[in-house]
Amino acid sequence: MGSGWWISDYLNNPNINGQVWVVSWAVWVVFSICLHELAHGWTAIKLGDDTPRLAGHMTWNPLVHMGPYSLLMFVFIGIAWGAMPVNPNKLRGRYADAIVSLAGPLMNLSLAIISLICLMLWGPLSQGHLISSVTIPDPLATNLQTFFHLGAMLNIVLMLFNLLPVPPLDGGRILMDVMPSYRRMMQSENGRWIALGVFVIFFVFAGSLIFDVAGFIVSSISIFFWAIFFPNM
């Protein structure tokens, strides 16, 4: 049984290299959230809103994007969140707010694709299937494979989670911008309770499911790729 603290559970798991998992997860969480928020900021600035720059959020400092409470939550349960100040009234374009909101999940999708490509190529490279004269021994070979796998999985999780159609998540902001009736409902008192209910239901009943789905996607794609192009691995 796990201790209940994610870091301890990883470190005490005999089936994995706990230190590599903890370090990899920490790097990817901080890096992915920062890039997610910066994608919102870059897009908002491009569409006429200089609030991200004026607020001092166009930085790589994770404390600015995540804040102390988010980082503290990460230490305790392994998940965190970020924020990027945007003023929709300054944005140019009919669906500018939706575009700014979509930029974050698209960044996570891009990071997932890059990580997945690295994962698919790293295995054959480390075993000498890409360049016969080049082999990479353990622990580096296995450690980097873990790093790329976690990067792809985490960013799929972040993309799917942020696209849930409830505010203040990106999916909710997108729907509120393109569907005025949905915006009116979500801004009503009942709508706020609906949004809260979706959050509770997700975390109680589907929180682990999204991780399982992301892990299945990464494993299935990489195994299929190796089976097609490197059947002797």
Percent of the chain with pLDDT over 90: 70
pLDDT recorded at residue 3: 55
How much is the pLDDT for 139?
A: 93
CB 147 within 8 A of CB 25: no
Model confidence band, residue 91 (pLDDT cutoffs 50, 70, 90): very high
Residue 126 above 80 pLDDT?
yes
pLDDT in tens, 136-154: 999 999 999 999 999 999 9
pLDDT digits (tens, 9 = 90+) for 175-215: 999 999 988 888 888 888 888 888 778 777 777 889 999 99
pLDDT at residue number 4:
67
Tally Cβ neighbours within 10 Å of residue 89. Answer: 8
Choice among 21-25, 54-58, 129-133, 169-173 with the minimum mean pLDDT: 129-133
Q: Output the pTM of the full model.
A: 0.92
Residues tagged active-site: 37
Within 8 A by CB and 6+ apart from 111, the residues are 32, 35, 151, 155
Predicted pLDDT of residue 1: 43
Most confident of 87-101, 120-134, 163-177: 87-101
